[in-house]
Amino acid sequence: MTGDSSTTTTPAEAPGVTPAVSVRGVYKVFGPKPGEAVRRLEAGASRDEVKNLGTAAVIDATFDVAPGEIFVVMGLSGSGKSTLIRMLNGLWAPSAGDVLLGDANLATVDGKRLRQLRRSRVSMVFQHFALLPHRTVLDNAAYPLEIQGVGKAERQEKAQQALDMVGLSGWQDSLPSQLSGGMRQRVGLARALAADTDVLLMDEAFSALDPLIRSEMQEQLLELQEKLGKTIIFITHDLNEAMHLGDRIAVMRDGRIVQIGTAEQILSDPANSYVEKFVADVDRSRVLTASSVMQRPRLTVPAGGGPRQAAREMRDAEVSGAFAVDRRRVLKGLVRADDAVRATKDGVEKLEGIIDTDVTSVHQDTPLAELFAPAAESAVPLAVVDDEGRLVGVVPRVTLLEAMAGESVENGNVSTPEKTQQQAQEGPADGEPAGTTEGAPA
């Protein structure tokens, strides 16, 4: 049981680089006889066999996290991930093994040094925000600096910078209770950033947020990470989140790390049947089809309407073309803005005459791979339709390319409301603000 650490550990960094965080053979047993339990576990006993000696929350965890890496620990509740992260800043002391934060071993340092390390090296974001309700947003964000002994003026300035960074400018004098959940967690994030530590621990940081806010926060985190390059250890039970955020992912089950690897490695080469089963659910949803990358059309015009109305709507929406649909949203074709304007001038009453029916549409279940040929032929975004020919979305070419490249592009507009949760979490679709959905037909 202990000998398989080589298969579960795949350090990503080159051999010469000192890991920011290094966990070596760590055990955590809660109970009356942790030492005895660890010995039995090391000898190959199972978690259940040592039950009467204590609850083995973490068993033989070994991994390195490189500086600047986002390392996600993923597992269901009770898998030991929360205990594991709490050993990385000494909130729990390991029952056995070493936790190295740079050159300091948290397993052996005394209380004073531990507090020092927490102030200077590692900060944390909590699932339920853990803000001080009686302090303003600014004072909450300044809290770590206060503990560090930074003077009032300086800490408020730094805290304000951190708040600006997470997009909470102007909220510094509010109380946490006056903010929404997403904003509260931004305060939590700002607090951790204000501490200005290299290592950031995030314990189910986005799990308490509703899906839309959650994906917004994920984007914001990635954006900040690009600028700041922190070493982030992120705990989650959500595989989509893990896949989206993690440079590498450690999958935990019953206290053990069963696999460490990149999202691709875990998807394509699951270490065992547990991981396979775990990713199977997600995998099906991640079999990328047109529906999984499509975006909501920014504007559709009624095919039965007139060109004047269509022209005005397109002008208001600032698009140069829109798909025309009938009352049941069945796709009828494409209307170009300049055609509509011309028709209006010419006094044409019906839109029908100017609808370009030569539009490439694809079924929503079409695999991504089969979208390339039609996309290449079509100058406008692909229309995605359901079984009955109703328009359900559009796939701009840029989105498609990004989806295949499988990487997110710098996105200035993280809070695009049109984005669905799935698209945001899948990553591939997030580079394209929905505003360009109805791109200009050439």
Partner 1 sequence: MIAAANDTLVPRVPVGDWIETAIDWVTDTFDPLFDAIKTFFETIYDGLDWVLSTPPFFVVAIVLAAIAFWAKGWKLGIGSLVGFVLIAAMDQWDNAMDSLALVLLASAVALVIGIPLGIWAARNEHVSRVVRPILDFMQTMPAFVYLIPTVVIFLTGPVPGIIATIVFALAPGVRFTELGIRQVDAEVVEAGRAFGSTDRRILRQIQIPLAMPTIMAGVNQVIMLALSMVVISGMVGAGGLGGDVVGALSSVDIALGFEAGLAVVFLAIYLDRVTSALADRSPVAKALKAAR
Residues of this chain that bind partner 1 (CB under 8 A)? 86, 89, 91, 115-120, 122-124, 126-135, 143-144, 147-148, 175-178, 191, 195, 201
CB of residue 191 to partner 1, shortest distance in Å: 8
Nearest in space to 97 (alpha carbons), one of 257, 236, 246: 257
Pick the closer one to partner 1 by CB: 6 or 177. Answer: 177
CA 342 → CA 92, 123, 311, distances in Å? 72, 61, 9
Pick the closer one to partner 1 by CB: 45 or 58. Answer: 58
Helix axes 111-120, 137-148, angle to 10 degrees: 130
CB of residue 187 to partner 1, shortest distance in Å: 11
Pick the closer one to partner 1 by CB: 41 or 122. Answer: 122
Strand ranges of the sheet holding 70-74, from the earlier edge strand across to the other edge: 122-125, 199-203, 231-236, 70-74, 248-253, 256-261
User: 425 and 406 in contact (C-beta within 8 Å)?
Assistant: no
Find all residues with CB under 8 Å of 141, minimum gap 6, and list them: 159, 160, 162, 163, 172, 187, 190, 191, 194
* Structure token pair of residue 30: 């809660």
CB of residue 90 to partner 1, shortest distance in Å: 9
Residue ranges of the alpha helices (H) in 307-383? Answer: 307-317, 337-345, 372-377
CA 155 → CA 161, 196, 310, distances in Å? 10, 11, 55
CB of residue 172 to partner 1, shortest distance in Å: 15
Pick the closer one to partner 1 by CB: 130 or 341. Answer: 130
User: 74 and 251 in contact (C-beta within 8 Å)?
Assistant: yes
- SS3 readout for 118-166: HHHCEEEECCCCCCCCCCCHHHHHHHHHHHHCCCHHHHHHHHHHHHHHC
How many CB atoms lie under 10 A from the CB of residue 264?
10
Pick the closer one to partner 1 by CB: 119 or 342. Answer: 119
Nearest in space to 256 (alpha carbons), one of 69, 11, 84: 84
CB of residue 350 to partner 1, shortest distance in Å: 55
Pick the closer one to partner 1 by CB: 38 or 131. Answer: 131
CB of residue 232 to partner 1, shortest distance in Å: 15
CB of residue 30 to partner 1, shortest distance in Å: 15
Pick the closer one to partner 1 by CB: 40 or 135. Answer: 135
CB of residue 209 to partner 1, shortest distance in Å: 15
Pick the closer one to partner 1 by CB: 148 or 364. Answer: 148
Residue ranges of the alpha helices (H) in 4-89? Answer: 5-8, 34-42, 81-87
CB of residue 70 to partner 1, shortest distance in Å: 19
CA 392 → CA 126, 138, 298, 328, distances in Å? 38, 44, 11, 11
Amino acid at 175: L
Pick the closer one to partner 1 by CB: 91 or 299. Answer: 91
Pick the closer one to partner 1 by CB: 50 or 142. Answer: 142
Give the distance from CA 387 to its chain's centroid.
32
Could you give the CA distance from residue 328 to residue 126 in angstroms, rounded to a whole number?
A: 46
CB of residue 124 to partner 1, shortest distance in Å: 4
